[in-house]
Amino acid sequence: MPVPVTLLGLGRMGRALATRLTERGHPVTTWTRSGGGTAASAVEAVAGAEVVLLCLYDGPACRAVLDEVRPALPAGAVVVNTATVSPAEATELAALVPGTVHVPVLGSTGPAAAGTLTLLVGGTPGPAAAAVLADLGTALPCGTPAQAAAAKLVANGALADALLAVRTARTRAAALGLDPTLTLDLLEHTTLGGLVRAKRDRLADPQDDREADFAAAALAKDVALLAAALHPGADVAGLMTDPAVLAPLHDYAAGHATGDPSYHRRAFLPTAHVEGLRAGTFTSWTLDEYCALFTGAPAPDEASRRRRIDQVSATGSTATATMTLHHGPDVFTDSFVLLRVDGAWRIANKTYHRQV
Protein backbone atom coordinates (compact mmCIF):
# COMPACT_ATOMS: atom_id res chain seq x y z
CA MET A 1 0.00 0.00 0.00
CA PRO A 2 1.48 3.40 -0.98
CA VAL A 3 2.66 5.56 1.92
CA PRO A 4 3.31 9.32 1.59
CA VAL A 5 7.03 9.75 2.24
CA THR A 6 9.12 12.87 2.77
CA LEU A 7 12.81 12.36 2.11
CA LEU A 8 15.13 15.00 3.56
CA GLY A 9 18.63 14.91 2.06
CA LEU A 10 19.52 14.23 -1.58
CA GLY A 11 23.09 13.01 -1.53
CA ARG A 12 24.00 9.85 -3.43
CA MET A 13 22.08 7.59 -1.06
CA GLY A 14 19.15 9.96 -0.73
CA ARG A 15 18.68 10.13 -4.49
CA ALA A 16 18.85 6.34 -4.78
CA LEU A 17 16.27 5.85 -2.01
CA ALA A 18 13.93 8.45 -3.51
CA THR A 19 14.08 6.71 -6.89
CA ARG A 20 13.46 3.29 -5.35
CA LEU A 21 10.46 4.42 -3.31
CA THR A 22 8.95 6.26 -6.27
CA GLU A 23 9.30 3.13 -8.41
CA ARG A 24 7.53 1.15 -5.68
CA GLY A 25 4.54 3.50 -5.88
CA HIS A 26 5.06 5.67 -2.81
CA PRO A 27 4.33 9.40 -3.24
CA VAL A 28 7.73 10.95 -2.42
CA THR A 29 8.37 14.59 -1.55
CA THR A 30 12.02 15.61 -1.41
CA TRP A 31 14.03 18.47 0.06
CA THR A 32 17.73 19.09 0.37
CA ARG A 33 19.67 21.91 1.98
CA SER A 34 21.50 22.64 -1.26
CA GLY A 35 18.30 22.94 -3.33
CA GLY A 36 16.90 20.73 -6.06
CA GLY A 37 14.15 18.90 -4.17
CA THR A 38 10.45 18.97 -5.01
CA ALA A 39 9.66 21.12 -1.96
CA ALA A 40 10.87 24.68 -1.44
CA SER A 41 11.54 24.19 2.27
CA ALA A 42 11.88 21.44 4.85
CA VAL A 43 8.71 22.61 6.57
CA GLU A 44 6.77 22.48 3.29
CA ALA A 45 8.21 19.04 2.56
CA VAL A 46 6.88 17.37 5.72
CA ALA A 47 3.31 18.60 5.33
CA GLY A 48 1.08 15.55 4.88
CA ALA A 49 3.88 13.03 5.34
CA GLU A 50 3.27 9.75 7.14
CA VAL A 51 6.96 8.80 7.09
CA VAL A 52 9.84 11.28 7.15
CA LEU A 53 13.10 9.72 6.00
CA LEU A 54 16.32 11.48 7.05
CA CYS A 55 19.23 10.86 4.66
CA LEU A 56 21.72 13.31 6.11
CA TYR A 57 25.50 13.26 6.61
CA ASP A 58 25.94 13.38 10.38
CA GLY A 59 24.44 14.09 13.77
CA PRO A 60 24.64 17.91 13.67
CA ALA A 61 22.89 17.96 10.28
CA CYS A 62 20.10 15.71 11.62
CA ARG A 63 19.68 17.88 14.70
CA ALA A 64 19.45 21.09 12.68
CA VAL A 65 16.84 19.68 10.28
CA LEU A 66 14.75 18.09 13.04
CA ASP A 67 14.73 21.34 14.99
CA GLU A 68 13.41 23.04 11.86
CA VAL A 69 10.64 20.57 11.00
CA ARG A 70 9.47 19.42 14.44
CA PRO A 71 6.74 22.05 14.82
CA ALA A 72 5.36 21.21 11.37
CA LEU A 73 5.33 17.40 11.60
CA PRO A 74 1.82 15.95 11.16
CA ALA A 75 0.42 14.09 14.14
CA GLY A 76 1.46 10.46 14.00
CA ALA A 77 4.23 10.97 11.44
CA VAL A 78 7.18 8.63 11.99
CA VAL A 79 10.76 9.84 11.55
CA VAL A 80 13.14 7.21 10.15
CA ASN A 81 16.74 8.35 10.54
CA THR A 82 19.21 6.56 8.26
CA ALA A 83 22.25 8.72 9.13
CA THR A 84 25.40 7.16 10.54
CA VAL A 85 25.82 8.75 13.96
CA SER A 86 27.23 7.81 17.35
CA PRO A 87 25.11 5.78 19.79
CA ALA A 88 24.76 8.84 22.04
CA GLU A 89 23.64 10.98 19.11
CA ALA A 90 21.11 8.33 18.06
CA THR A 91 19.56 8.43 21.52
CA GLU A 92 19.47 12.25 21.58
CA LEU A 93 17.98 12.53 18.08
CA ALA A 94 15.31 9.91 18.80
CA ALA A 95 14.28 11.88 21.88
CA LEU A 96 13.65 15.02 19.79
CA VAL A 97 10.66 13.38 18.06
CA PRO A 98 8.90 10.61 20.02
CA GLY A 99 8.53 7.45 17.96
CA THR A 100 11.65 8.10 15.88
CA VAL A 101 13.20 4.93 14.47
CA HIS A 102 16.94 4.84 13.86
CA VAL A 103 17.67 2.76 10.74
CA PRO A 104 21.22 3.04 9.37
CA VAL A 105 21.78 0.79 6.39
CA LEU A 106 24.39 -1.63 5.09
CA GLY A 107 24.93 -1.29 1.35
CA SER A 108 25.55 1.49 -1.11
CA THR A 109 23.62 3.07 -3.96
CA GLY A 110 23.39 -0.14 -6.01
CA PRO A 111 21.58 -2.15 -3.31
CA ALA A 112 19.47 0.94 -2.53
CA ALA A 113 18.26 1.07 -6.13
CA ALA A 114 17.58 -2.68 -6.10
CA GLY A 115 15.87 -2.72 -2.70
CA THR A 116 18.41 -5.12 -1.22
CA LEU A 117 19.85 -3.03 1.62
CA THR A 118 20.27 -4.47 5.09
CA LEU A 119 18.33 -2.22 7.46
CA LEU A 120 19.62 -2.01 11.04
CA VAL A 121 16.40 -1.19 12.84
CA GLY A 122 16.56 0.49 16.23
CA GLY A 123 13.07 0.97 17.63
CA THR A 124 9.57 -0.05 16.50
CA PRO A 125 8.71 1.23 13.01
CA GLY A 126 4.92 0.89 13.04
CA PRO A 127 2.87 -0.22 10.00
CA ALA A 128 3.50 2.75 7.69
CA ALA A 129 7.26 2.92 8.26
CA ALA A 130 7.51 -0.88 8.08
CA ALA A 131 5.86 -0.84 4.65
CA VAL A 132 8.36 1.75 3.41
CA LEU A 133 11.34 -0.13 4.83
CA ALA A 134 10.15 -3.40 3.29
CA ASP A 135 10.60 -1.82 -0.15
CA LEU A 136 14.20 -0.83 0.67
CA GLY A 137 15.61 -4.12 1.93
CA THR A 138 15.70 -6.65 4.74
CA ALA A 139 15.30 -5.56 8.36
CA LEU A 140 17.76 -6.70 11.02
CA PRO A 141 16.25 -5.78 14.41
CA CYS A 142 18.94 -4.21 16.63
CA GLY A 143 17.00 -3.13 19.71
CA THR A 144 17.30 0.53 20.62
CA PRO A 145 18.37 3.45 18.41
CA ALA A 146 21.73 3.48 20.21
CA GLN A 147 22.25 -0.21 19.51
CA ALA A 148 21.40 0.25 15.82
CA ALA A 149 23.92 3.11 15.62
CA ALA A 150 26.55 0.97 17.32
CA ALA A 151 25.89 -1.90 14.91
CA LYS A 152 26.46 0.40 11.92
CA LEU A 153 29.77 1.65 13.36
CA VAL A 154 30.95 -1.91 13.95
CA ALA A 155 30.05 -2.82 10.35
CA ASN A 156 31.84 0.19 8.89
CA GLY A 157 34.83 -0.48 11.13
CA ALA A 158 35.02 -3.97 9.63
CA LEU A 159 34.89 -2.44 6.13
CA ALA A 160 37.73 -0.06 6.98
CA ASP A 161 39.79 -2.94 8.38
CA ALA A 162 39.20 -4.99 5.22
CA LEU A 163 40.25 -2.11 2.96
CA LEU A 164 43.41 -1.67 5.00
CA ALA A 165 44.08 -5.41 4.70
CA VAL A 166 43.77 -5.17 0.90
CA ARG A 167 46.15 -2.21 0.85
CA THR A 168 48.68 -4.01 3.07
CA ALA A 169 48.53 -7.14 0.92
CA ARG A 170 49.09 -5.14 -2.28
CA THR A 171 52.04 -3.31 -0.69
CA ARG A 172 53.64 -6.60 0.33
CA ALA A 173 53.03 -8.09 -3.11
CA ALA A 174 54.64 -5.10 -4.81
CA ALA A 175 57.66 -5.35 -2.50
CA LEU A 176 58.02 -9.01 -3.47
CA GLY A 177 57.77 -8.23 -7.17
CA LEU A 178 54.34 -9.71 -7.88
CA ASP A 179 52.46 -8.40 -10.89
CA PRO A 180 49.50 -6.18 -9.79
CA THR A 181 47.02 -8.22 -11.83
CA LEU A 182 48.26 -11.46 -10.29
CA THR A 183 47.95 -9.87 -6.86
CA LEU A 184 44.26 -9.08 -7.42
CA ASP A 185 43.69 -12.58 -8.83
CA LEU A 186 45.30 -13.98 -5.69
CA LEU A 187 43.27 -11.81 -3.31
CA GLU A 188 40.04 -12.91 -4.96
CA HIS A 189 40.81 -16.41 -3.65
CA THR A 190 41.28 -15.25 -0.05
CA THR A 191 38.86 -14.18 2.65
CA LEU A 192 39.03 -10.71 1.09
CA GLY A 193 37.67 -12.10 -2.18
CA GLY A 194 34.19 -10.60 -2.00
CA LEU A 195 35.50 -7.10 -1.43
CA VAL A 196 38.17 -7.38 -4.13
CA ARG A 197 35.67 -8.72 -6.67
CA ALA A 198 33.24 -5.91 -5.91
CA LYS A 199 35.91 -3.20 -6.21
CA ARG A 200 38.25 -4.82 -8.72
CA ASP A 201 37.80 -2.26 -11.51
CA ARG A 202 38.77 0.59 -9.22
CA LEU A 203 41.55 -1.32 -7.52
CA ALA A 204 43.04 -2.10 -10.92
CA ASP A 205 42.79 1.53 -12.08
CA PRO A 206 43.63 4.11 -9.37
CA GLN A 207 42.80 6.86 -11.88
CA ASP A 208 39.18 5.67 -12.16
CA ASP A 209 37.18 8.88 -11.74
CA ARG A 210 33.67 7.41 -11.53
CA GLU A 211 31.53 8.72 -8.69
CA ALA A 212 32.25 6.64 -5.61
CA ASP A 213 29.52 4.56 -4.00
CA PHE A 214 30.88 5.49 -0.58
CA ALA A 215 33.29 8.37 -0.15
CA ALA A 216 36.54 7.87 1.76
CA ALA A 217 35.76 10.99 3.82
CA ALA A 218 32.48 9.46 4.99
CA LEU A 219 34.22 6.23 6.00
CA ALA A 220 36.86 8.21 7.88
CA LYS A 221 34.08 10.08 9.69
CA ASP A 222 32.46 6.80 10.69
CA VAL A 223 35.77 5.33 11.91
CA ALA A 224 36.22 8.43 14.06
CA LEU A 225 32.74 7.93 15.54
CA LEU A 226 33.62 4.31 16.32
CA ALA A 227 36.87 5.34 17.98
CA ALA A 228 35.10 7.98 20.06
CA ALA A 229 32.44 5.49 21.15
CA LEU A 230 35.08 2.95 22.17
CA HIS A 231 37.29 5.52 23.89
CA PRO A 232 34.92 8.13 25.38
CA GLY A 233 36.64 11.32 26.42
CA ALA A 234 39.86 10.47 24.58
CA ASP A 235 41.51 12.41 21.78
CA VAL A 236 40.79 10.10 18.83
CA ALA A 237 42.71 12.11 16.23
CA GLY A 238 45.41 9.46 16.14
CA LEU A 239 42.91 6.66 15.54
CA MET A 240 41.86 7.78 12.06
CA THR A 241 43.30 9.27 8.91
CA ASP A 242 42.16 12.82 8.19
CA PRO A 243 41.09 12.76 4.51
CA ALA A 244 42.55 16.28 4.10
CA VAL A 245 46.05 14.84 4.57
CA LEU A 246 45.72 13.35 1.09
CA ALA A 247 45.56 16.79 -0.59
CA PRO A 248 49.32 17.51 -0.64
CA LEU A 249 50.01 13.94 -1.77
CA HIS A 250 47.66 14.41 -4.70
CA ASP A 251 49.39 17.71 -5.53
CA TYR A 252 52.75 15.95 -5.35
CA ALA A 253 51.57 13.28 -7.79
CA ALA A 254 50.12 15.97 -10.07
CA GLY A 255 53.49 17.73 -10.11
CA HIS A 256 55.12 14.58 -11.46
CA ALA A 257 52.30 13.92 -13.93
CA THR A 258 52.30 17.42 -15.43
CA GLY A 259 55.88 18.53 -14.86
CA ASP A 260 54.44 21.73 -13.37
CA PRO A 261 56.47 22.73 -10.27
CA SER A 262 53.63 24.88 -8.90
CA TYR A 263 51.96 21.69 -7.66
CA HIS A 264 55.05 20.90 -5.60
CA ARG A 265 55.17 24.42 -4.17
CA ARG A 266 51.60 23.92 -3.00
CA ALA A 267 52.29 20.43 -1.65
CA PHE A 268 55.48 21.23 0.32
CA LEU A 269 56.26 23.69 3.08
CA PRO A 270 58.75 26.32 1.86
CA THR A 271 61.38 24.93 4.27
CA ALA A 272 61.05 21.34 3.02
CA HIS A 273 63.97 19.23 1.86
CA VAL A 274 64.01 16.25 -0.48
CA GLU A 275 66.75 13.77 0.40
CA GLY A 276 68.03 10.44 -0.82
CA LEU A 277 70.85 8.57 -2.50
CA ARG A 278 71.61 9.15 -6.17
CA ALA A 279 74.25 6.86 -7.65
CA GLY A 280 75.29 6.04 -4.07
CA THR A 281 75.81 9.70 -3.12
CA PHE A 282 73.68 11.47 -0.53
CA THR A 283 71.71 14.33 -2.07
CA SER A 284 69.68 17.00 -0.26
CA TRP A 285 67.63 19.51 -2.25
CA THR A 286 65.84 22.58 -1.03
CA LEU A 287 62.35 23.09 -2.40
CA ASP A 288 63.66 25.59 -4.97
CA GLU A 289 66.31 23.11 -6.13
CA TYR A 290 63.77 20.31 -6.33
CA CYS A 291 61.27 22.42 -8.31
CA ALA A 292 64.01 23.36 -10.77
CA LEU A 293 64.06 19.71 -11.87
CA PHE A 294 60.60 20.10 -13.44
CA THR A 295 60.31 21.65 -16.88
CA GLY A 296 56.59 22.43 -17.00
CA ALA A 297 55.83 19.53 -19.37
CA PRO A 298 55.03 15.86 -18.72
CA ALA A 299 57.72 13.24 -19.19
CA PRO A 300 57.67 11.64 -22.68
CA ASP A 301 56.61 8.30 -21.14
CA GLU A 302 54.02 9.78 -18.74
CA ALA A 303 51.24 7.63 -20.20
CA SER A 304 52.96 4.49 -18.89
CA ARG A 305 53.93 5.86 -15.46
CA ARG A 306 52.03 4.87 -12.31
CA ARG A 307 51.86 6.29 -8.79
CA ARG A 308 50.17 4.86 -5.71
CA ILE A 309 49.64 6.07 -2.16
CA ASP A 310 50.55 3.06 0.00
CA GLN A 311 50.17 4.27 3.56
CA VAL A 312 48.91 7.31 5.46
CA SER A 313 48.80 7.72 9.24
CA ALA A 314 47.80 10.94 11.00
CA THR A 315 48.09 11.81 14.69
CA GLY A 316 46.99 15.29 15.69
CA SER A 317 48.90 17.80 13.58
CA THR A 318 51.52 15.38 12.21
CA ALA A 319 51.31 12.57 9.68
CA THR A 320 53.45 10.12 7.76
CA ALA A 321 52.86 8.65 4.32
CA THR A 322 54.54 6.50 1.70
CA MET A 323 54.05 6.35 -2.06
CA THR A 324 55.33 4.08 -4.81
CA LEU A 325 56.19 5.65 -8.16
CA HIS A 326 56.77 3.55 -11.28
CA HIS A 327 58.69 5.83 -13.64
CA GLY A 328 59.88 3.84 -16.63
CA PRO A 329 62.50 1.31 -15.48
CA ASP A 330 62.84 3.06 -12.10
CA VAL A 331 60.69 2.39 -9.04
CA PHE A 332 60.77 4.98 -6.27
CA THR A 333 59.54 4.56 -2.71
CA ASP A 334 58.86 8.02 -1.31
CA SER A 335 58.43 8.62 2.42
CA PHE A 336 56.86 11.83 3.71
CA VAL A 337 56.52 13.67 6.99
CA LEU A 338 53.55 16.04 6.91
CA LEU A 339 52.35 18.82 9.21
CA ARG A 340 49.01 20.57 9.53
CA VAL A 341 49.90 24.26 9.51
CA ASP A 342 47.24 27.00 9.65
CA GLY A 343 44.56 24.37 9.03
CA ALA A 344 46.15 22.86 5.91
CA TRP A 345 48.34 19.78 5.50
CA ARG A 346 51.75 20.28 3.83
CA ILE A 347 54.75 18.04 3.26
CA ALA A 348 57.53 19.00 5.68
CA ASN A 349 60.19 16.64 4.27
CA LYS A 350 60.55 13.80 1.80
CA THR A 351 63.05 10.97 1.59
CA TYR A 352 63.19 8.45 -1.21
CA HIS A 353 64.66 5.13 -2.26
CA ARG A 354 65.34 4.50 -5.93
CA GLN A 355 65.20 0.91 -7.15
CA VAL A 356 66.51 0.59 -10.70
CA–CA gap between residue 69 and residue 41 (Å, rounded): 9
- Return the SS3 of 350: strand
Region 169-175 average pLDDT: 89
pLDDT tier at 316, thresholds 50, 70, 90: confident
Q: Where are the domains of the chain?
A: 5-146, 151-225, 243-355
Region 338-353 average pLDDT: 94
Quote the pLDDT of residue 184.
Answer: 95
The residue that leads in pLDDT, 351 or 214, is 351
pLDDT tier at 240, thresholds 50, 70, 90: very low
Q: How many CB atoms lie within 10 A of CB 232?
A: 9
- Using the predicted structure, report yes or no on whether residue 197 has a pLDDT greater than 60: yes
Quote the pLDDT of residue 30.
Answer: 97
Contact 188, 197 (CB under 8 A): yes
pLDDT tier at 273, thresholds 50, 70, 90: very high
Closest of 298, 221, 309, 217 to residue 267, by C-alpha:
309
The residue that leads in pLDDT, 208 or 285, is 285
Q: How many CB atoms lie within 10 A of CB 245?
A: 21
CA–CA gap between residue 135 and residue 119 (Å, rounded): 11
Assign a CATH topology to domain 243-355. Answer: Nuclear Transport Factor 2; Chain: A, (3.10.450)
Percent with pLDDT over 90 in the chain: 66
Backbone angles phi, psi at 157, to 5 degrees: -65, -40
Region 182-202 average pLDDT: 93
pLDDT tier at 233, thresholds 50, 70, 90: low
Q: What's the whole-number average pLDDT of the chain?
A: 89
Strands 344-355 and 268-278: parallel
Which alpha helices (DSSP H) does the chain contain, by range?
12-23, 42-46, 59-69, 87-96, 109-114, 126-134, 145-175, 180-187, 193-204, 216-230, 246-258, 261-267, 287-291
- In which order are the strands placed within the sheet that holds 330-341? 281-286, 268-278, 344-355, 330-341, 318-327, 306-315
Q: Which CATH number fits domain 5-146: 1.20.1250.20, 2.60.120.10, 3.40.50.300, 3.40.50.720?
A: 3.40.50.720
Region 49-60 average pLDDT: 94
Strands 5-8 and 28-31: parallel
For the question of whether the overall pTM of this predicted structure is more than 0.85, the answer is: no
Considering only 72-76, 207-211, 346-350, which range has the smallest mean pLDDT?
Answer: 207-211
